[in-house]
Amino acid sequence: MEQNNIVDPVKQFKEERTNDIKQMNKDKELKKKSLEWMIHADKYKYSYNFSWLGRPIIKYPGDIVATQEIIWETKPDLIIETGIAHGGSLILSASILELLGNGEVLGIDIDIRKHNRKEIENHPLYKRITMLEGSSIDSNIFEKVKKIAEGKKKIMVFLDSNHTHDHVLKELNLYADLVTVGSYLVLPDTFIEYFPKGYYSQNRPWDVGNNPMTALKEFMKENDNFVVDHGINDKILITEAFDSYLKKVK
């Protein structure tokens, strides 16, 4: 007796969405409008509008959702984040690990402000967080990072501190080896390369030609252990991390 072909609705939905994302990625006008919107909205500090479980998180909503997706999929037992600011990103990572029931977050910042440290340490999810104060590329700090990473089976890394080319390239060369195969290295603020030249020059050292994207391109020339996860990057459009959700493949 012939069996009826049963369509898996979940599989069908994923296939349809994959096709839609591919078509959306080909729409150059949509990409152009997305970037124009980002530049316009940045005049009002749009990415400063949000918080996660009570702590400010300086991210676009799409990147917050994408972060949740990759943590839930990968289930890392250690997430390393350079750059702490108000701690929202640390709390985001810690909250997903709490739901998974395993894992810890290591945050590194050259200057952890006293009031931010207090709020983070008083947060219910601080039990999953460790913070180190110092430069992420300082050899003494990195030795501490390696010690914490010892024995961890799945490690994910977010590099979101100083955004100059030289600093980010040093971070990439240091921290890429800590990322485990199948996990992610995420490099925010690559969008700086596509903003108007001189946009940040009044109070920040990074600019077109000197930012995480230029560092990423140089890093990828000599490193084939990572690939851009287009399944993530192509669907966000409004993102701080153009082409920089990197999945380690070997």
Taking residues 110-122, report their average pLDDT: 98
Note whether residue 37 is domain-resident: yes
Question: Residue 169's pLDDT is what?
Answer: 98
pTM (two decimals): 0.92
Instruction: Output the pLDDT for position 1.
Output: 46
Helix (H, G, I), strand (E, B) or coil at 9: helix
What pLDDT is recorded for position 14? 66
Residue 30 lies in a domain: yes
Residue 7 has pLDDT above 80, yes or no: no
Residue 133 lies in a domain: yes
Please count the structural domains in the chain: 1
Split at pLDDT 50, 70, 90, the class of 5 is low
Q: How confident is the model over 136-141, as a mean pLDDT?
A: 98
In the chain, beta strands by DSSP E: 51-52, 55-56, 78-82, 104-109, 129-133, 155-159, 184-186, 226-228, 245-248
**CATH number of the domain bearing residue 111:** 3.40.50.150
The answer to whether the beta carbons of residues 85 and 47 sit under 8 Å apart is no
Express each pLDDT in 178-210 by its tens digit. 999 999 999 999 999 999 999 987 778 999 999
Beta bridge partners of 61: none
- Mean pLDDT across 11-35: 78
Task: Label residue 234 by pLDDT band (50, 70, 90).
Answer: confident
Assigned domain for 84 exists: yes
Q: Is residue 40 part of a domain?
A: yes
CA distance 119 to 122: 5
In a domain, 159, yes or no: yes
What range does the domain containing 242 cover? 9-248
User: What is the three-class DSSP state of 23?
Assistant: helix
**Structural domain includes residue 209:** yes
- The C-alpha angle 19, 187, 131, rounded to 5 degrees, equals 130
- Pick from 136, 82, 75, 119: which is nearest to 101 by CA? 75
105: left (phi over 0), alpha (psi -120 to 50) or beta: beta
The percent of residues in the chain predicted with pLDDT above 70, rounded, is 94
Mean pLDDT value across residues 78-95: 98
| Close Cβ partners of 149 (under 8 Å, ≥ 6 residues apart) | 78, 80, 155, 178
In a domain, 54, yes or no: yes
Report the pLDDT averaged over residues 211-229: 96
User: What is the residue-averaged pLDDT of the chain?
Assistant: 93
- The average pLDDT across 11-29 equals 73
Q: Which two tokens stand for residue 58?
A: 């300086």
